Structure 1
Amino acid sequence: MRSVNQTFNYSRAVEFDNPAGPSTVVVVGSGDDSGYAVLVDSLRLQRCSVVCYDNCSQIDRGLLTQTSLVFLFVSRLSDNALRLQADLLIGQVPHVSVIPIVEYAEQGRAAALLESGCVDYLLAPFSATQITDLLKRQEASVAAQESFVSCSQAGRRLLAMAQRVAVTRAPILITGETGTGKEMMARYIHQFATGGNAPFVAVNCAAIPEQMLESLLFGHERGAFTGAVSAQPGKFEIANGGTLLLDEIGELPLGLQAKLLRVLQEQCVERLGGHKQIKLDVRVIAATNRDLAVEVAEGRFRADLMFRLDVLPLHITPLRDRLDDILPLSQRFIARYAPHEQADGLLTEAASRALLLHDWPGNVRELENTLQRALVLRKGLFIQPQDLGLAAGEVAVSSEPAAPCAGKAALRASGKWAEYQHVLDTIRKFGGHKSKAAQSLGMTPRALRYRLSAMREQGVQLPAL
């Protein structure tokens, strides 16, 4: 049998046939790249069907929809070409995980790619064992994304960080507005770390009376208080070997914060009315929509507990700043609440634009409720804008141009007119180059096209760009 280098033809894609392979993996590079042969051979040994291309522009889009993993050799690419290739892949099919392969001397380039939305990277030279470990992480990530869906760059960076913190037992603090999916992120971390084969226990610290919360968390022995007719384990014990989510940790009473701090430090718990120390092996994840630093400054939260919880912080950005997540999340909710229908065909183009234009103050929870209501109240086979029940956006009458500022935070700063004007000014700034303008605005070219189409429907005159 000929070697991989001899088999590869630069003028076309070559598939290393493996009919029994459970997955398809794309490799972008050449036989001259360091580690190329090791990579392809290792993937084949893992029963993957491997398809190779010389550059990203040759990749068949239909093939990308069938794979979730692309390896990208970067040694022959300039920084600009590398960024364009990664953006091309992530922009075309956001669910694809792009794994850049860099030399040890080029680790800075890998860090930049992680900022662009790549979820992992390999340092060459690498071993077959490293490839196997990476494939296992990728498989765990795909399974875990049943809990947390994200296709935006911000969301992908968050998932990449979540994968890194999931391998440790150190406390994790998840922050974000109400409804952004903090519990879903906690479940993602748990699923990625354990494969779902360990207990996941969630406690809402704001929903339980203080006098009951201590017993619920730490357990009690028989006779510890009036009504304690039998011994009961606490949530820490129940979650042993798995994950305990302390949701709304900012609402935890001060009296219990000291005891929680001790449990986290000692990694053991003592039931109410008992004297036995119970050893713990629990991953503790805390979540809050409050700024704990402010809570500490105002005397409502212990500083030492905040520092103990804030070892590995994760912040979930609001949905209005993750435009690329809106439609994938919508499809997920439609598939959940209308399992017998074709989920990807129920939303009309106009309804999709309406979803993208809405501010979503309630974040993912509001989006889920909106789609569930639309499925029940729709007047036809498809979901139309009027079925969503969202307030129609109006263009504010103003002749004042928007103040120059960067990023998507400026888009909604001064009403719809300022938003539209900012989009147009950004496109003009880049000489009509919509891909560069979209990157500056913090959105994909596809989302920008939706925005321009919605602007036309609102009566905005678009000049020749």
Structure 2
Amino acid sequence: MSTSQSINVAAVSKTSERGNSRASDRLFGESVAARKVIILGHSRDDGYSLLTSGLAHRNCQIIHCAQFSELSASLIAQASLIFVFVSSFTGGSLFARIGAMIGDAPNISVIPVVEYADQQKAAALLELGCVDYLLAPFSAPQLNALLQRQESGLAAEESFVSCSQAGRRLLAMAQRVALARAPILITGETGTGKEMMARYIHRFAASDSAPFIAVNCAAIPEQMLESLLFGHERGAFTGATAAQPGKFELANGGTLLLDEIGELPLGLQAKLLRVLQEQRVERLGGHKEIPLDVRIIAATNRDLQQEVAEGRFRADLMFRLDVLPLHICPLRERKDDVLPLARRLIRKHAPHEQRDDLLTPAACEALLAHDWPGNVRELENMLQRALVLRNGLFIQPQDLGLSLPAVNTGAPMKSLAGDMSADLNAEMCGKAALRASGKWAEYQHVIDTIRRFGGHKTKAAESLGMTPRALRYRLTAMREQGVQITF
């Protein structure tokens, strides 16, 4: 069989080919079946034929490659999974190649196939950002379990976005802890997405019908929190006119998120500990124990060990909750996630736009330069405001309320939009330059879009989200400001 040969093993659902920035969207709603999968290795590798037949059974379109050099950017962009047989490549070259591939296409899942004697390589490759691995020789059930994890991960990925290596390692770890039923403790600064991570774990491991219940322990008064968590019977206290199930009961068969667990009063911590140990709950005023089948996820922005040392949190409860710890790094430490998150949030809050390129290059630079003390929550609030207050089609740095990086008003600016008049450049200084620089990026985007459609202005206008008439007005205004337009 020749290299880079595509094998259509069954009727394959046709998938639209998009760039890497839309790769994650392409995967939503798709199973591993009927998608393009790359196998990198040789047919003599242990498990190669079993992997091929297993993927064929799921109606995948398989692309066989023998060398990394055969993996072009366009080929990788079409696939959603890449299996790499580690035994076919030398160590140093392997790590460098896989690291570069993950860096260039962070939304593609790379899965190394490692022989039992080389299990240490699997751990190192997971550190690089691989999402899972197979130990060869493997069985058909083991392969099916891995492919099922991938399907669950793709369905869950809508809840938590991460393209950085640190974030990918976190998602890989989350998939592993999700397979267990032990309590999970998620830590991280305010606004990092702890609830989103909890939802990711829930969607990865639970069925679609399983409930997800979230309780903010800091937002509910202590006298109400006990009844809310554990439920009550009629007459248990003044005003209890009817029996009411608690959040533990409502979450039965699913997941209960105890957000801001560090704020839980000491009196309730003892009762929570008993429920976790016994997996049973008793309503206030009741005498019947109700069995539970609930995944418990706790989240906090506090250092629980410090809270224990200062007497504000029970040590035994901390040990019970901290069985499977997950820490979410602040956004300033995973800058590779900023722009994918921004595009996702824009699609969330402006679905009618139906486009990803609302952020100008200058706005992207400003987003990447910001430290994000409020993390993802700050980013979301900023983009919501920008979508409402923007002046024009695109989002500029001034719409975000962020400082614009220094702009050279000479030759680099000319390269953006063609030959501008010398008089216009001379006038662009200080604040005027800052205001205008975003416009030049917008103008260049308009020109590039028209060029992409071969000068067809109607199609370009549709892509830009405006009418052909509005585009004509835009081009006239650009010419009046000294932009030389050629297509």
TM value normalised by structure 1 = 0.81
| Deviation (angstroms), 1:378 | 1.1
Q: In structure 1, give the amino acid aligned to 2:262.
A: G
| Deviation (angstroms), 1:17 | 4.7
* Corresponding position of 2:195: 183
* Corresponding position of 1:162: 174
SS at match of 1:345: coil
Per-residue CA shift, 1:331-384, capped at 9, x if unaligned?
101111121224321111111111111000000111111111111111111111
Pick one of 217, 220, 225 that aligns with 1:205: 217
What's the C-alpha RMSD, in Å, of the aligned pairs? 1.4
Match status 1:119 vs 2:131: yes
SS at match of 1:65: helix
After the TM superposition, list the runs of 4 or more consecutive aligned residues in structure 1 that deviate by more than 6 angstroms: none
The answer to whether the Cα contact below 8 Å between 2:187 and 2:194 also exists between their aligned partners in 1 is yes
Pick one of 52, 55, 74 that aligns with 2:64: 52
**How many pairs does the alignment contain?**
387
TM value normalised by structure 2 = 0.78
Q: In structure 1, give the amino acid aligned to 2:293.
A: D
| Deviation (angstroms), 1:178 | 0.1
Segments of structure 2 that go 5 or more residues without pairing to the other structure are: 14-33, 408-487
Pick one of 370, 383, 398 that aligns with 2:395: 383
Distance 2:376 2:100 in 1: 27
| Deviation (angstroms), 1:19 | 3.3
Q: In structure 2, give the amino acid aligned to 1:157.
A: R
The answer to whether the Cα contact below 8 Å between 1:147 and 1:184 also exists between their aligned partners in 2 is yes
Q: In structure 2, give the amino acid aligned to 1:287.
A: A
Q: In structure 2, give the amino acid aligned to 1:19.
A: A
| Deviation (angstroms), 1:385 | 1.4
* Corresponding position of 2:115: 103
Pick one of 12, 36, 50 that aligns with 1:20: 12
Distance 2:88 2:41 in 1: 9
The answer to whether the Cα contact below 8 Å between 1:14 and 1:53 also exists between their aligned partners in 2 is no
Segments of structure 1 that go 5 or more residues without pairing to the other structure are: 1-7, 396-465
The answer to whether the Cα contact below 8 Å between 1:27 and 1:72 also exists between their aligned partners in 2 is yes
Q: In structure 1, give the amino acid aligned to 2:255.
A: T
Distance 1:62 1:348 in 2: 24
The answer to whether the Cα contact below 8 Å between 2:365 and 2:405 also exists between their aligned partners in 1 is no
The answer to whether the Cα contact below 8 Å between 1:43 and 1:131 also exists between their aligned partners in 2 is no
Please say which of residues 305-314 and 66-75 is displaced more in the overlay.
Answer: 66-75
SS at match of 2:92: helix
Identity of aligned residues (%): 69
Pick one of 20, 31, 39 that aligns with 2:51: 39
The answer to whether the Cα contact below 8 Å between 2:178 and 2:202 also exists between their aligned partners in 1 is yes
| Deviation (angstroms), 1:214 | 0.2
Q: In structure 2, give the amino acid aligned to 1:270.
A: E
Match status 1:9 vs 2:2: yes
Per-residue CA shift, 1:113-151, capped at 9, x if unaligned?
000101100011112222221111101000101101111
* Corresponding position of 1:310: 322
* Corresponding position of 2:157: 145
Per-residue CA shift, 1:16-57, capped at 9, x if unaligned?
453335211111111121111111111011111111111233
Q: Which has the higher helix share?
A: 2
SS at match of 1:343: coil
Q: Which is greater in Rg? A: 2
Distance 2:119 2:71 in 1: 26
* Corresponding position of 1:93: 105
Distance 1:226 1:52 in 2: 70
